[in-house]
Amino acid sequence: MNIGGVLDARLDNDRRLPLLDSYVDEIAEAGFDTVRLPVCWSAHAGEQAPFTIAPTFFDRVDAAVEQVLSRGLDLVLDVHHYEQLQRDPAAHADRFLALWQQIAERYRDRDTERIAFELLNEPREQLTADRWNDLLRLGLAEVRATSPDRTVLIGPARLNAVDALGDLRWPDDENLVVTVHYYEPFAFTHQAAPWLDDAHRWLGTPWGTPEDRVVLRRDLATAAQWAGARGVPLFVGEFGTYAAADRDSRVRWTTAVRTELERLGVGWCYWDFATDFGVFDPAGGTWHEPLRAALLGGTSR
Q: Which of residues 149-188 bind ligand BGC (CB under 6 A)?
A: none
Please answer whether residues 236 and 261 qualify as being in contact, where contact means their C-beta atoms are separated by less than 8 angstroms.
yes
Q: Please, what is the angle between helix 129-144 and helix 89-106, to 10°?
A: 30
Count of residues engaged in binding ligand BGC, rule: CB under 6 A: 9
- Least gap, CB of 38 to ligand BGC (angstroms): 6
Q: Kindly tell me which of 8 and 26 has the beta carbon lying closer to ligand BGC.
A: 8
| Per-residue contact flags (x/-) with ligand BGC for residues 80 to 119, judged by CB under 6 A | x---------------------------------------
- Least gap, CB of 230 to ligand BGC (angstroms): 24
- Among 3, 6, 7, 8, which residue interacts with ligand BGC (rule: CB under 6 A)? 8
* Distance (Å, whole) CA 154 – CA 139: 10
Q: Kindly tell me which of 102 and 189 has the beta carbon lying closer to ligand BGC.
A: 189
Half-sphere exposure of 227 (CA within 13 A, CB side): 25
Q: What does 34-81 look like in DSSP terms, one character per residue?
A: EEEE---GGGGB-SSTT-PBPHHHHHHHHHHHHHHHHTT-EEEEE---
Q: Which of residues 27-46 bind ligand BGC (CB under 6 A)?
A: 38
- Among 122, 142, 212, 260, which residue interacts with ligand BGC (rule: CB under 6 A)? 122
Region label for 159, one of left (φ > 0), alpha (ψ between -120 and 50) or beta (otherwise): left
List residues near ligand BGC by CB under 6 A.
4, 8, 38, 80, 121-122, 238, 271, 277
